[in-house]
Amino acid sequence: MIKVAKFGGSSVADAEQFKKVKQIVQSDPARKFIVVSAAGRRNPADNKITDLLYLVCAHLQYHVDEIPLLEDVKQRFVSIAHELNLKYPIEEKFNEFENNIKNYSPEYIVSRGEYFTGQLLAEYLGLSFVDAAEVIRFHRSGTVSKTKTLHNIHELAKKTGPFLLPGFYGATPDKEIRLFDRGGGDITGSLVARAIGVDLYENWTDVSGFLSADPRIVDNPRPILRITFDEMRELSYMGASVLHEESIFPVREVGIPIVIKNTNDPFAPGTIISDDPMNASMEHLITGIAGKKNFLSVNVKKNHMSTAVGTVRKVLSIFELYGVSVEHIPTGIDSFGIVVHASDVHDCLYDIVGDIQDEVQPDEVKVVDKFALVSIVGRNISRHVGTSGRIFTALGRAGINIRLIMQNSEEISIIVGVDDSDFENAIRTIYNAFANELVEDEASDER
């Protein structure tokens, strides 16, 4: 068994967190390859090193003195090294970086968060440090070159055995540093897992995996023990984000499961993300409920639309023209709605409505705003007749007006639109109606 363990910023925020990481890594010999983020927040009022480094770049851009900020960053690293008695000459190396700061690109500056955290953790864990610039290959355009990167990591592992790699950055063939999006250390971890062909990709963070609902809305929501990649996409899209979305692709393609674990509570089971049916005779009917507020629908009515061709396309191309991403398109016979995030259209809504009037001469265009979407996600929903009926009954009994109903085509989610003001109540109502309900897992019979 071989595992990649990726530790997020909060897992390495200070010397105490480094100690927890060491215990975790040493308690399982399968944890041979480690990926690490830059030291994160030590408490809610603290700053992530990555944020401070972005701020350093802004100071340089606007000619504001950046030295005090850099000194803060240095102190974070120095105190970790000092408390753990590390030999890595962090002061010397950081001073060198600081003295040359004006010669570096913003990407290089920001990547030093991961670089220095990685140097310190590699020494502390007794692992060899590999600079991500040597193996994570980016195209000049800024996208990652997957084939080259996988090849590089594979060759490296063959040659050197276990290693520690800082996440979040890589380099172009001309050695210019490039970054993934924020939170992109998860992608590095996934690429390493895929390249080495490990059995499990562990993603260590500060929560014990996904919860079946937002704990700010539902008291003590049940943790999700197992989730499929598609379910995770649905829930993350609706705001329940634990993992960088892009990070699932490299491992999913080859069937490597991901487990989300909590560095501060390592014995909690966490959440396994996998498409393989696991050995469970009973499963939850609903995996999770998530949602977002502030949607808006532009409803277009055009009599005899059902026999005319091209109306929806014309309207959609108007949204495209304004660069607005369309979330859903509920349709009727002679009408349809275009559902978008209200914030995406706040300065072009009138122009869009005007263009629709000019382009398709509708009988009516109406804007319905201030509604929320709640997604009820579950791989078992499709096999259980009556789930949607029960959702609607529960919402009806609670006096919640349903403004929109959609079912995802794979039948793993049912989405309802409610007024923004009913959002929390709708989630609680659906959760209480059956989020804890168990059903027979057919997959376990098939084996």
**What are the DSSP calls for 237-248, one per residue?**
HTT--SS-GGGH
Beta carbon nearer to ligand ASP, 113 or 250 = 113
Beta carbon nearer to ligand ASP, 113 or 417 = 113
Cα end-to-end span (Å), the chain: 23
Q: Which pair of tokens denotes residue 213?
A: 């609902």
Beta carbon nearer to ligand ASP, 189 or 288 = 189
Cβ 107 to ligand ASP, closest distance in Å? 12
Give the CA distances from residue 402 to residues 33, 57, 186, 301, 326, in Å, rounded to whole numbers and listed in that order: 49, 47, 37, 20, 20
Cβ 433 to ligand ASP, closest distance in Å? 37
Q: Which pair of tokens denotes residue 64?
A: 């504001």
List, in order, residues 6 or more apart from 216 with CB less than 8 Å away: none
Beta carbon nearer to ligand ASP, 56 or 339 = 56
Beta carbon nearer to ligand ASP, 183 or 288 = 183
Cβ 169 to ligand ASP, closest distance in Å? 9
Taking the alpha carbons of 295, 301, 307, 311 in that order, is the dihedral positive or negative?
negative
Beta carbon nearer to ligand ASP, 37 or 190 = 37
**What are the DSSP calls for 320-340, one per residue?**
HHTTPPP-B--B-SSEEEEEE
Q: Is 183 a binder of ligand ASP (CB under 6 A)? A: yes
List, in order, residues 6 or more apart from 319 with CB less than 8 Å away: 326, 338, 340, 352
Beta carbon nearer to ligand ASP, 113 or 270 = 113
Number of residues that bind ligand ASP (CB under 6 A): 14
Give the CA distances from residue 235 to residues 109, 225, 239, 252, 425, in Å, rounded to whole numbers and listed in that order: 34, 14, 7, 17, 18
Residue nearest ligand ASP, Cβ-based:
185
Q: Report the half-sphere exposure of 21 (CA within 13 A, side-chain side).
A: 36
Distance CA 12, CA 42 (A): 9
Q: Is 50 a binder of ligand ASP (CB under 6 A)? A: yes
Q: Which pair of tokens denotes residue 173?
A: 């063939």
Q: Which pair of tokens denotes residue 281?
A: 């005779």
Contact window for ligand ASP (CB under 6 A) among 97-105, 183-191, 280-288, 303-311: 183-191
Q: Which helix (H) or strand (E) holds 160?
A: helix 146-160
Q: Is 185 a binder of ligand ASP (CB under 6 A)? A: yes
Give helix 106-125 / helix 90-99 axis angle, nearest 10°.
Answer: 170
Q: How many residues comprise the chain?
A: 447
Contact window for ligand ASP (CB under 6 A) among 27-35, 55-63, 75-83, 184-192: 184-192
Beta carbon nearer to ligand ASP, 50 or 387 = 50
Beta carbon nearer to ligand ASP, 183 or 362 = 183
The contact mask relative to ligand ASP for 85-114 (x = CB under 6 A, - = no) is ----------------------------x-
Q: With H, G, I as helix, E, B as strand and everything else as coil, classify residue 374.
A: strand
Q: Is 168 a binder of ligand ASP (CB under 6 A)? A: yes
> Nearest to residue 187, comparing CAs of 102, 115, 124, 245?
245
Rule CB under 6 A: choose which of 167, 270, 291, 362 binds ligand ASP. 167
Rule CB under 6 A: choose which of 182, 314, 366, 370 binds ligand ASP. 182
Beta carbon nearer to ligand ASP, 186 or 422 = 186
Residue for token pair 């927040």:
41
Contact window for ligand ASP (CB under 6 A) among 133-141, 179-187, 196-204, 270-278: 179-187
Contact window for ligand ASP (CB under 6 A) among 21-29, 83-91, 181-189, 222-230: 181-189
Cβ 384 to ligand ASP, closest distance in Å? 38
The contact mask relative to ligand ASP for 250-289 (x = CB under 6 A, - = no) is ----------------------------------------
Rule CB under 6 A: choose which of 11, 17, 37, 287 binds ligand ASP. 37
Residues that bind ligand ASP (CB under 6 A): 8-9, 37-38, 48, 50, 113, 167-168, 182-186
